[in-house]
Structure 1
Amino acid sequence: MIKVSVVVPTYKTPPEGLARLIGSLDRQTLPASEFEVIFVDDGSPDDTLERLKELAATRPHVRVEPIENSGWPSKPRNVGIDLAQGEYVAFMDHDDELYPDALRAAYEFGAANGADVVSGKESRTTEPAWGLGNYDEDRGQARGREDIHPLLPMNPHKMYRKAFLDAHGIRFIEQRRVLWEDIFFNLLVARHAEVVSSLASVPYYHWVTTEGSGSTTFVKSTDEYWDWLRKVCEATRTDLAGPENDLQRQQVELHQYGGRVLGVYDKKYATRSEANRRRIFERSRALQAEFDYARLEPLLPAFRRVRAELLRTGRRDLLTEICVSDAAIPGWGRARSMRWQDGKLAVDIDVEWGDSDGRRLRLTRRGDRIHKALNPAVRAVVSESATDVTEALSHVELGLFIHGRRSRVAWTLPAEGSSQLHEDEWGGVDVTGRVSALIDVSSAAGGRELDPGTHWDIFVRTRLDGTGSARHLRSDVPASVTAFDGGAHLVYPNDGGHATVIPQGQTEAIRRLSPLTVKAAGMDLVVELSGDHDGRGRAFGRIGVAPHPVDDGWPGAADASTDPLPDPFVEREAVLEVSDGVARVRLSGIEGDSVALRIGDRVKGGPLYWILRRTEDGVTLEEGPRPAPPAPPAAKPASPTPAPAAPPTLRRKVGKVLRKLGLR
């Protein structure tokens, strides 16, 4: 029985992307006999088809179907649907990947709930918080969910029941170029689906963002963008017509109006050419009027409401100004303390709102209400209700999540957050926050243990007045571990000054903790490490050992030559021991009167290694060389007559052509 048909449209697929995709399919826990893979090649002019046939020759469950070039993934997907023999159809892009348990978990969840579509937990390479709020919990029936439409994000990376698609004739629009073809498809799914399931507990799909993919070629200053956006708005109104669809129609319209119509008025808008600003203004204003989006404005956050009213009143000049003066201000957090308590990581965080330019939220009190502090010219045009953020300030969202560098999966962490208002004597209002959490490594991955031996970065997530941000947790709290027999979990400030956790990170702990003392213990050497630690136990790790003196020509040396030597350090087994708050490294079989140990070499500002010396008086440790400071950048020669820059219009025309060709 074929449970799932995986449909993959291909066109000039990069070898590394195809290898990533097929590797993820080979690793599926669902037996290969229970799913099929259908590659539909859209007339690739390179060797893509030959590479696909080679793959299929060694995999009985893989089929390759070549077609004439159609110019877009829509027709290949439709061909794949028609060929599919599985109960469910899953779509993939040609350079993405599925997580190992994706097909099994999504199929079983969909079958158990009689789902017409299963939306599985998705990650995106470039956006750690991508879709995190959408996948908050497993929902057998997510249809009718009030906080967000259950099919958002409306990409095709989901699993659809084949009989459901056929019964309602749901297919992708076929043209050479169709912007948002996945939205048109999912609007029909939303209209007809009786059961929409959302799977959050098992990672499903990794969207690998690359230059030249369809969505990266969407240019907001072109008529193409606005023509297709108008069709999306029209399809939302018609495909989700009727009182039975009131909720989901409103959810999708808010998403389109707030995110795409008004969303173009960001910091980048002010830097566009006059002609492009005018085109964007005219086209967005036309959509606002045609679809009567003013009815949605009471549901928008203040920063969107202000832009909506300026757009409706025709004040393009003020829209340009406010894109700079009222830019979104992200929230970020700094760790006050991070300490292990009985095997769990207790975190206490201060939160502020500000950007890299030093700008902060500009709020002011007027009577018993708090408003955005805007340019007087803007205040004269927009309504009082548009600038009122009083209710928004009473619903500030603060939270934490942890993000895997290798897997790209993010998991929300249980946390408690609170915000405070601070007023000055002139009526100015500032906002700060506090977040606290107790992170259990054994259950932080949606109830499961975090992947061991890998880096997990902690992020602070904030939302205020509709503006959400996800920023690394800043930390300068010294590294520490919690130990148990067989392992030790490490938390440390990474080289960028942010908090990172490594489950079973005993080897990295040896490099992130500075040595304090050394003593002989029988045939062993015991090095005491810095920090205040938790738990009790022994864990095996690795330590680099090299004869001393170390040749100064190896790549990590302070004075590395232009033709560096190989790394002289050899990895040796070491034991990390923790008891009574103290961490020690026990070394055996260390020979020689003077050896170099790669210990504490990743402590900020520390040496590249430490030197262990045996003398008649005992054993000593001393610092090795420190890394060479980075060379200052070479001064550029002054140009008495700078070459004139290319006209902005020409640069943008060239950029447009390059993007269409997938070269930029």
Structure 2
Amino acid sequence: MIKVSVVVPTYKTPPEGLARLIGSLERQTMPASEFEVIFVDDGSPDDTLQRLRKLATAHSNVRVEAIENSGWPSKPRNVGIELARGEYIAFMDHDDELYPDALRAAYEFGVAHRADAVNGKEARTTSPSWGMSTYDQDRPQSVGRTDGHPLIPMNPHKMYRRAFLNENGIRFVEGARVLWEDIFFNVLVARHAAVISTLSSVPYYHWVTTKGSGSTTFVKHGEDFWRWLPKVCQAIIDELPGEENRLQREQLELHQYSNRLVGVFDSKYVTRTPKQRRFMFEQAQALQRDFDFARLEDRMNSSKRVRAELLRADRQDLLEEICVSDAAVPGWSRATSVEWRDGVLHVATDVTWSDSKGTVPALVRDGDRIRKELPADVRALVSADATDMTDEVDGITLTGLVRSRRSRIAWALPLESDVRVEDLPDGSVRVSATAEFTLDPAAAASGAPLERATHWDLHLHARFGNSSTDRVVKSTIPASVTVTGGILHLVYPNDSSNATVIPGGEREAVRRLEPESAAVVDGDLVLGLAGRHDGAGDVATVVSVWNAQESKPAELPARLKVVDGVAHLIVPGLDRATVEVRVGDRAPGGPGAWIVRSEGTRRVLERSTRPSTDSAPKPVPKPAPTPTLRRKVGRVLRKLGLR
């Protein structure tokens, strides 16, 4: 029985992308006999088809079909649906990857809950918090969800019941250039699906972004963008009619209006040519009017609402000014405390909002309300509700994340926060916050342990007004370890001063913990390591040691032991009078090695002049500075007479 058909449209597929995709399919926990892979090549002019056919000869569950070029992934996907034999169909793009347990977990979850569609946890290479609000917990039934549409992100990287697609005639819109074909498809799914399940506890899909992989199709000043956006908006209205569909219809309408229509008026808007700016302004005005989007504006944040009202007031000049003066300001976090307690990491941070120039959110006090500070001519045009930031300050959302550098999957962490509002003498308001979150390496992956011997970076996702930013947690707090259940977990500030955790990090711990004492005990070299540590036990590791005349070190077995908050590195049988060891060379300011030398019955530590041979590479020198986006924007505004 074929449980899942994986449908992959291809066109001029890069070899490395195809290798990544097929490798992820080969690693699936679902037996190859239970799923099939259908590649449909859209008339590639290169050797893509030949490479696919070679793959098919080596994989009994791979099928390859070739069609004449259609110019878009829609027709290849539709051909794949017709050829599919699986109970469920999973769509993949030709250079992405599935996580190892994806097919098994999503299929079993879908069958268990009779799902017409399964929205599995997705990661995106360039966005740590991608889809995090959707994938907050496993949800057998997400239809009717009020905090967001259950099919967001609205891409096709999901699993759909084949009979459901066929019974309702759900297919991708075909054509040479069909922008947002996945939205058209998922709107039909939303109309007919009785059950949409959300699988959050098992990583499903990695949407891979590599250098040069970004599409130029969705150019916001291009005619295609504005030709297809009204069609998307109309499809949402046509396919989700009536009061019974009002919730999801307005969820999707608001997403298009806020993110795509009003969303084009960002800091990049004013860097475009006058002709492009006018074209975008007029197109946005027409859509705003034709779809009566003003009815949704009370659900938008202040920045978006101000822009929407200026658009409706036909004030392109003021809208351009706001695109600069009201640019999103990112949130940043810096650790004030990082410590292990009973095997759980506790991190306390300060959170501030500012950009690289020191600009902070412009807020002013107005009685018991907090308002966005705006130029007088803008304030005169927009409503008082549009400038009111009080609820947005109260609604600041902070989410702690731990993210794998290897797989790019991220997990939300338990967090408590406190937002601080400071009234300044000049009437302005300054907003900051504190956040404390915990990380249990044994359960942080939705109850499962984090992958061992992998770097996991700590992030804070900060959402405030029109700013939604992911930033690593900055830290200069020295490294420390916990030994729990026979496993050593390390936290340390990496070479970029970002807080990083390595479960099973005993090798890196030797490099990150600086020695502060040395002794020989029963013929073993014992190095006392700096810091306050947690747990109890010892784990096997290795240490690099140089003999007198050797240029390369030898790795010797060692043990890293923690007792009563103190850590020791023990190297059995190493009792030479003088020995050079590589310990703590990755600690901030540490030398490339330490020399342990005998002085009578004592052992003393001396800093070696030897460089750390495999320390982090030095950054490539930056080229001569180029004008920043803000400078470019300023130049445009001056030309327009707005600054």
Shift of 1:594: 3.9
Partner of 1:556: none
Q: Could you list the per-position Cα deviations for residues 173-223 of structure 1 after superposition, in whole angstroms to 9, with x for gaps in the alignment?
A: 111111111111111111111111110000000000135557443111111
2:204 corresponding residue in structure 1: 204
Verify the 8 A CA contact 2:523 2:574 in the aligned structure 1. Answer: no
Name the counterpart of 2:181: 181
- Alignment gaps of 5+ in structure 1: 552-567, 637-647, 649-664
SS at 2:263 equivalent: coil
**Structure 2: stretches of 5+ with no match in the other structure:** 625-634, 636-643
**2:29: which partner in 1?**
29
Letter in 2 for 1:365: R
More displaced stretch, 216-225 vs 117-126: 216-225
* Closer/same/farther in 2, CA of residues 489 and 270 from structure 1, 3 Å limit: same
SS at match of 2:346: strand
For the residues of structure 2 that align with 1:292 and 1:211, how far apart are their CA atoms?
Answer: 39
Amino acid at match of 1:57: T
List aligned pairs for 1:364-375, cutoff 5 A: 364-375=364-375
Matches within 5 A, 1:610-621: 610-614=594-598, 616-621=600-605
Change (3 A) 1:434 1:175: same
**Partner of 1:639 in structure 2?**
none
Q: Does 1:598 align with 2:586?
A: no
TM-score by length of 1: 0.91
Q: Which residue in the other structure is 2:275 paired with?
A: 275
SS in 1 for 2:90: strand
CA distance in 1, matches of 2:364, 2:458: 32
Q: Distance in 2 between matches of 1:372 and 1:417?
A: 23
**RMSD, aligned CA:** 1.9
CA contact (8 A) 2:28 2:101 kept: yes
Bigger mean CA offset, 404-413 vs 49-58: 49-58
Higher alpha-carbon deviation: 314-323 or 208-217: 208-217
The CA distance in 1 between the partners of 2:491 and 2:601, in whole Å, is 36
CA–CA separation in structure 2 for the residues paired with 1:242 and 1:630: 61
Give 1:590 shift. 3.5
| 1:403 aligned residue | 403
Q: Distance in 1 between matches of 2:399 and 2:214?
A: 33
- Measured after TM superposition, the shift of residue 164 of structure 1 is 0.7
Alignment partner, residue 377 of structure 1: 377
Q: Corresponding residue for 1:287?
A: 287
Following the alignment from structure 1 to structure 2, what is the Cα–Cα distance between the partners of residues 630 and 248? 51
Q: CA 1:548–1:53 in structure 2 vs 1: closer, same or farther (change >3 Å)?
A: same
The answer as to whether partners of 2:140 and 2:196 remain within 8 angstroms in 1 is: yes
Q: Is it true that 1:318 corresponds to 2:318 in the alignment?
A: yes
Aligned-residue offset at 1:630: 6.7
**Counterpart position of 1:574:** 558
3-state secondary structure, aligned to 1:544: strand
Q: Which moved more, 1:378-387 or 1:146-155?
A: 378-387
The Cα shift of 1:320 comes to: 1.1
Q: Name the residue aligned to 1:85.
A: 85
SS of the equivalent of 1:595 reads: strand
Residue matched to 2:431: 431
State the Cα deviation string for residues 557-616 of structure 1 (Å, max 9, x = none).
xxxxxxxxxxx2333221100111111100124475543322111112221121233455
Give 1:609's aligned residue: 593
Change (3 A) 1:122 1:577: same
Deviation track 1:244-287 (CA, whole Å, cap 9, x = no partner) reads 11000100011100000011111111212212111111111111
Residue in structure 1 matching 2:568, options 565, 584, 592 = 584
Deviation, 1:635, is 10
What is residue 444 of structure 1 aligned with on the other side?
Answer: 444
Residues 33, 547 of structure 1: alpha-carbon distance in 2 compared, 3 angstrom cutoff: same
Separation (CA, whole Å) in 1 of partners of 2:131 and 2:622: 43
Question: 3-state DSSP class of the match of 1:585?
Answer: strand
Alpha-carbon deviations, 1:107-161, whole Å to 9, x = none? 0100111110000000001111111111001111100000000000100000001
Q: Which residue of 2 aligns with 1:124?
A: 124
Number of the residue aligned with 2:641: none
- Matching of residues 55-134 of structure 1 within 5 Å: 55-134=55-134
How big is each residue's C-alpha offset from its partner over 1:365-424, in whole Å with a ceiling of 9 and x where there is no partner?
112211001122211221111100112222221221111111111101011112121101
Aligned-partner Cα distance in 1 for 2:556–2:217: 50
CA displacement 1:42-100 (0-9 Å, x = unmatched)? 11122211211121112111111111111111111000000000000000011110001
SS at match of 1:430: strand
2:602 maps to 1:623? no
Which stretch has the larger CA shift, 526-535 or 435-444? 435-444
The CA distance in 1 between the partners of 2:277 and 2:546, in whole Å, is 62
Matched letter for residue 499 of structure 1? A
For the residue of structure 2 that corresponds to 1:468, the secondary structure is strand
CA contact 2:334–2:349 (8 Å) conserved in 1? yes
State the one-letter code of the partner of 1:580.
Answer: D
Aligned pairs for 1:211-610 within 5 A: 213=213, 215-484=215-484, 486-548=486-548, 551=551, 568-590=552-574, 593-610=577-594
What is the number of equivalent residue pairs in this alignment?
621
| Cα distance in structure 2, aligned partners of 1:485 and 1:609 | 31
Q: Hey, what's the Cα distance between the residues in 2 that align with 1:569 and 1:23? A: 36
Shift of 1:626: 6.9
2: CA distance between counterparts of 1:456 and 1:125?
14
CA distance in 2, matches of 1:448, 1:518: 39
Native 8 Å contact 2:525 2:575 kept in 1 = no
Match of 1:561 in 2: none
Amino acid at match of 2:561: E
CA 50–379 in structure 1, closer or farther in 2 if over 3 Å, else same = same
1:488 CA displacement? 1.0
Rounded to whole Å, the distance in 2 between the matches of 1:393 and 1:615 is: 63
Deviates more, 1:602-611 or 1:405-414: 602-611
Deviates more, 1:73-82 or 1:49-58: 49-58
Q: Aligned with 1:263: secondary structure?
A: helix
- SS of the aligned residue for 2:527 comes to strand
Cα distance in 2, alignment partners of residues 253 and 546 from structure 1: 66
Identity of paired residues, percent? Answer: 57
Q: Aligned pair in 2 of structure 1 residues 578, 214: CA closer, same or farther (>3 Å)?
A: closer
C-alpha separation in 2, matches of 1:631 and 1:216: 30
Report the AA paired with residue 584 of structure 1.
H
Is 1:16 the counterpart of 2:16 in the alignment?
yes
Tell me if structure 2 keeps the 8 A contact 1:550–1:596: no
Distance apart, 1:334 and its partner CA: 1.1
Q: Is the 8 A contact 2:461 2:471 kept in 1?
A: yes
Task: Supply the distance in 1 between the matched residues of 2:277 and 2:499 (Cα, whole angstroms).
Answer: 41
